[in-house]
């Protein structure tokens, strides 16, 4: 992918910065936290390198950021030239994401508060790319199938779904909470907790849950986007080789075996 701008997004409005800080405090967040006010910088150093390695031109492409959180990924997509829509189930977080974009001088993202992700306010086949960045594992287990079908509905034939940062339930340590073995606890035990522990997502649900015929473009080829993007991020080649070897033997993408699931799925019908 050829990026539109070679320059990191920068905050250019002190007034919008103050509004962002106020909204963050309202949500009990620290504006200077790397996962709040610094998240765009993180995505520039990480997600951008994944996008650079993808077989996709972003300029002018309609992109949906599903579960936008503070808007960092949506801001990056817009900065790189995409036409971006972004949704979240929380109106307060959508407000924070919009203020986040505005402090970077970006006002063309279509932020939407969508309380029920099983009913997205978009047309069939509206998007060429849907980004799910650390979000699907938070969808209620009883709703995930319907949510994935809805994402399939708004994705154009031949379009792509990028999953990144999704905690992998294969691993003994849950990636976000850091808790050990909770990924292996069956759901029927949830009634024992007031708030069930966070779990990851099974990789086969990630690949096959959107509908039949999706192809995972992430392969164990060392020249493919997973390996190239991880090397760009500074991952040691010696640590990548065993993962690529195992993935090749199993016939799966290496991102499906990583602690955080990463895969690029293409819808049939191009």
pTM given for the model:
0.94
> Hey, is 212 helix, strand or coil?
coil
Residues in a beta bridge with 131: 65, 162
Alpha-carbon distance of 247 to 242, in angstroms, equals 9
- 10-residue mean pLDDT profile of the chain (270 residues): values are 68 93 96 96 93 85 97 96 97 97 96 97 98 95 96 97 96 95 91 85 95 90 82 87 92 93 91
Q: Specify if 210 maps to a domain.
A: yes
Q: Specify if 9 maps to a domain.
A: no
Which pLDDT value is given to residue 228? 85
> Hey, is 142 helix, strand or coil?
coil
Which pLDDT value is given to residue 117? 96
What's the total number of domains in the chain? 1
Q: Specify if 8 maps to a domain.
A: no
Residue 119, domain CATH: 3.40.50.150
Residue 172 CA neighbour count, 13 Å, CB half:
1
Angle, helix 237-250 to helix 225-232, in steps of 10 degrees: 160
User: Domain range spanning residue 48?
Assistant: 14-266
Cα dihedral 65, 69, 73, 79, rounded to 10, equals: 90
Q: Which tokens go with 213?
A: 């015929």
Alpha-carbon distance of 137 to 128, in angstroms, equals 23
Q: Which of 81, 111, 61, 67 is nearest to 5 (CA)?
A: 81
Sign of CA dihedral 52, 58, 63, 69: positive
Residue 56 CA neighbour count, 13 Å, CB half:
28
């Amino acid at each position: 992918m050829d990026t539109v701008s070679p320059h990191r997004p920068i905050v250019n409005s002190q007034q919008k910065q103050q509004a962002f800080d106020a909204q963050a405090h309202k949500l009990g967040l620290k504006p200077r936290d790397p996962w709040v006010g610094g998240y765009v910088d993180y995505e520039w150093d990480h997600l951008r390198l994944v996008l650079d390695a993808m077989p996709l031109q972003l300029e002018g492409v309609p992109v949906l950021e599903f579960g936008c959180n503070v808007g960092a990924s949506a801001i990056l997509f817009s900065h790189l030239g995409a036409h971006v829509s972004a949704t979240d189930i929380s109106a307060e977080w959508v407000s924070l994401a919009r203020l986040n974009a505005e402090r970077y001088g970006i006002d063309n993202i279509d932020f939407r508060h969508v309380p029920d992700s099983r009913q997205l306010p978009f047309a069939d086949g509206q998007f060429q790319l849907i980004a799910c960045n650390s979000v699907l594992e938070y969808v209620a287990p009883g709703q995930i199938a319907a949510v994935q079908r809805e994402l399939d509905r708004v994705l154009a034939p031949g379009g792509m779904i990028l999953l990144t940062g999704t905690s992998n339930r294969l691993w003994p340590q849950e990636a976000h909470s850091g808790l050990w073995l909770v990924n292996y606890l069956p759901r029927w035990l949830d009634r024992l907790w007031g708030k069930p522990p966070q779990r990851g997502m099974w990789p086969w649900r990630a690949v096959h849950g959107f509908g039949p015929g999706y192809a995972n473009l992430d392969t164990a080829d060392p020249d493919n986007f997973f390996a190239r993007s991880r090397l760009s991020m500074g991952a040691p080649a010696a640590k990548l080789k065993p993962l690529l070897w195992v993935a090749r033997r199993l016939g799966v993408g290496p991102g499906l075996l990583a602690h955080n699931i990463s895969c690029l799925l293409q819808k049939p019908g191009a």
